[in-house]
Amino acid sequence: MKIAERHNLTLVKELFSDGDFQLNLLEDEDNNLFVSCNTSKPNGIVYFGTTCNLLCEFITKKIALQDLFDKSPSRFVEIVSKHKRAVYSRNDLEIILTNGTKWADQLSEEGFIEIWGC
Q: How far apart are CA 98 and CA 103, in angstroms?
A: 12
Q: Please, which residues bridge with residue 96 across strands?
A: 41
Q: How far apart are CA 118 and CA 101, in angstroms?
A: 21
Give, in degrees to the nearest 5, the angle at Cα 90 between 85 and 91.
130
Domain boundaries, the chain: 6-106
pLDDT of residue 114 exceeding 60, the answer is no
Give, rounded to a whole angstrom, the gap between the first and last alpha carbons of the chain: 22
pLDDT tens for each residue of 31-89: 999 999 999 999 999 999 999 999 999 988 999 999 999 999 999 999 999 999 999 99
Q: Flag whether the pTM goes above 0.95.
A: no
- Cα 12 to Cα 7, 91, 104: the distances in Å are 14, 28, 17
pLDDT tens for each residue of 12-47: 999 888 878 999 999 999 999 999 999 999 999 999
